[in-house]
Chains A and B, each alone.
Chain A
């Protein structure tokens, strides 16, 4: 395992930032921490990098305590906003970082990296003139210096335009193969996570609301059958008397039932003399699920 975190508790003074946090990450995985601002995503990353210490629990990164030189030498990271020397160009920024790494690439490799992140045309400009999206790209290039085995990216798509987001998505999905690395990133955008990550942790106010693969998350989603009749109240009572779990949503009834049972239910309703106006299958989207897991914060 690259990362093992067990029952972590992190506090800022009296405020609990992470509580009972468990996490494991294997090599070649892409994992995401998803949650609203202030949910504890950056706190967890800072903990992994040794920038802060947990009050309780155990953390191991590459089998070492966080912040250990051996583990840091295998990690490339961006934390919070991109950290760049504003007066230096892209090349110089990466050169500075590369001097602090164990494996130091030559200038040719650095230029190739600048091209890879799409900054080839502006590589000579000082970083202070970059937009947030360009700064994100440069920060990613900096994180990739030194051939890391694990990339920790804090809100990497923040500030990227739609083209940039698409580029990052494609890059990240391929990176475990092309660069032989694992990626742990945070986001508050569900769509971004769903298209990149294999494993996801949903965080809210420092506590895990869900942890598992995207398939497991999708598995938690249920199908509902939408039913509308001329007498919704009567139909609801009829269905409940037949053992169905029914809820009302505005002018429709929602049945917790898989799509395979649609035929059986429709026959039951017709035989029961119910006047059907609408009868469709509604799949709970990831977004619905996310919102229900995260409660009212969204």
Chain B
């Protein structure tokens, strides 16, 4: 087991070596762009009123709506494709597949690296947004009211969980698409998937079973609680379903890789 874990850790290092330039090039752009958008309420209020009002809550709403709910799932499409196309575009699968690392570990590493990518970006945006809010609070005209930490914790965890569902299904779609066509298919599916939550009913029983609507399903009660103060009744299985979904998709991916590896 420790041998497998070592193998996994080294494979992660290999992924980082392959992807660090792309990550270091794109992530600051994405983080800056998202932070600017999230902090727009401050700028807007300062410009229009000369005061910020309850900027903290506005920013948190924006963080939720803009990044967690919309940009992160969109970004996960890009991450999944970038992550996958490193080998695919250069015909490197055969090189990877003749190394002494099992197909299951290779598959898990690809997914895990994608999650880390998203996780790191999300943390960076959150940290930057909070930093700007803290700095802004020193200005007398700007009132920064931070909302409940509990809200942030839940919003963050559920968003990451929902995006993991997204990135797992996208990586799986990439695996399938690579055998048949190209990456346009997963990109299209990912894009339309990202739009699904806009139309999906948060109370629908089917919502947690669709990777892209998991976010709305889990997060909607949390944001309503932050706005209205009414505690929603989040049932345990609401969280179990997305986790089971991720596990199932991963298993399908590993099964496909074992049955017919990509070369």
Q: Do A and B come from one complex?
A: yes
Which residues of A are interface residues toward B (Cβ below 8 A)?
A: 46, 49-51, 69-70, 72-73, 75, 77, 79-81, 83-88, 92, 95-97, 99-102, 104, 142, 146
Which residues of the other chain, B, contact A83 by a CB distance below 8 angstroms? 90-92, 94-95
Q: Report B30 CB to chain A, min CB distance, Å.
A: 19
Which residues of the other chain, B, contact A104 by a CB distance below 8 angstroms? 10
Contact A84 B98 (CB under 8 A): no
Contact B17 A100 (CB under 8 A): no
Q: Which 8 A-B pairs have the closest CB atoms?
A: A83-B95, A99-B14, A100-B99, A73-B100, A72-B100, A99-B10, A49-B98, A96-B14
Which residues of the other chain, A, contact B101 by a CB distance below 8 angstroms? 69, 100
Contact A100 B14 (CB under 8 A): yes
Contact B98 A86 (CB under 8 A): no
Which residues of the other chain, A, contact B91 by a CB distance below 8 angstroms? 81, 83
- Point out which of A86, A99, A104, A146 has the most chain B C-beta atoms below 10 A from its C-beta: A99
The CA-CA distance from A79 to B263 in the complex, in Å, is: 11
Which residues of the other chain, B, contact A69 by a CB distance below 8 angstroms? 100-102
In the assembled complex, B154 has its CB within 8 A of some CB on chain A: no
Contact B263 A51 (CB under 8 A): yes
Contact A99:B90 (CB < 8 A) given known A49-B98, A72-B100: no
In the assembled complex, B136 has its CB within 8 A of some CB on chain A: no
Contact A72 B98 (CB under 8 A): yes
The CA-CA distance from A68 to B27 in the complex, in Å, is: 38
User: Closest residue to A72 on the B side, CB-wise?
Assistant: B100
Which residues of the other chain, A, contact B263 by a CB distance below 8 angstroms? 51
Contact B99 A97 (CB under 8 A): yes
Additional pairs, 11, CB under 8 Å, beyond known A79-B94, A83-B94, A95-B14: A72-B98, A83-B95, A84-B90, A84-B92, A85-B92, A88-B18, A95-B17, A97-B95, A99-B10, A99-B13, A142-B95
Among B10, B17, B86, B98, contact of A75 (Cβ-Cβ < 8 Å): B98
In the assembled complex, B11 has its CB within 8 A of some CB on chain A: yes
User: Closest residue to B21 on the A side, CB-wise?
Assistant: A87
Contact A100 B11 (CB under 8 A): yes
Among A79, A86, A99, contact of B17 (Cβ-Cβ < 8 Å): A99
Contact B90 A92 (CB under 8 A): no
Among A79, A80, A96, A102, contact of B18 (Cβ-Cβ < 8 Å): A96
